[in-house]
């Protein structure tokens, strides 16, 4: 696979993971907001439903952690791919790399 295609592919995957992360966060927020908190009306059926919702939220949180880990790994791969492109560039670097000079 050519390097430019690899960078584009990694960018596309990173973008789709970002969208997935946003959707999971919205689902978690909606499920926790809609979860009944009244203990006065807590019948056996309501308690069972609340526990089922809590399990679903926990599963979503695990999935969110997996997505964030994958985003991190893809970000590292993308960074390395950009550095490789810059190193192999004949004339000008493909991206702007800013280095901090201290002293």
Which tens digits make up the pLDDT trace of 25-83? 999 999 988 776 666 666 787 788 888 889 999 999 999 999 999 999 999 999 998 88
Cβ contact 81:17 at 8 Å? no
39 belongs to a structural domain: yes
37 belongs to a structural domain: yes
Taken in order 36, 41, 42, 48, the sign of the CA dihedral is negative
- CB atoms inside a 10 Å sphere around CB 43: 8
Residue ranges making up the domain that contains 81: 3-88
Cα 66 from chain centroid (whole Å): 8
CA distances (Å), 40 to each of 31, 37, 53, in order? 20, 9, 19
Which tens digits make up the pLDDT trace of 4-14? 688 899 999 99
Q: What is the CA radius of gyration of the chain?
A: 22
Judged by DSSP in three states, 1 sits in coil
99 belongs to a structural domain: no
102 belongs to a structural domain: no
Structural domains counted in the chain: 1
101 belongs to a structural domain: no
């Amino acid at each position: 696979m050519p390097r430019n295609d690899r960078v584009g592919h990694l960018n596309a995957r990173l973008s789709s993971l970002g969208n997935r992360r946003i959707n999971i966060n919205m689902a978690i927020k909606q499920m926790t907001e809609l979860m009944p908190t009244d203990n006065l009306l807590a019948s056996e059926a309501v308690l069972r439903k609340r526990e089922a919702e809590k399990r679903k939220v926990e599963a979503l949180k695990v999935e969110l952690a997996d997505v964030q880990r994958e985003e991190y790994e893809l970000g590292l791969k993308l960074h390395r791919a950009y550095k490789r492109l810059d190193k192999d560039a004949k004339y000008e670097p493909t991206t702007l790399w800013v280095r901090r000079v201290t002293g």
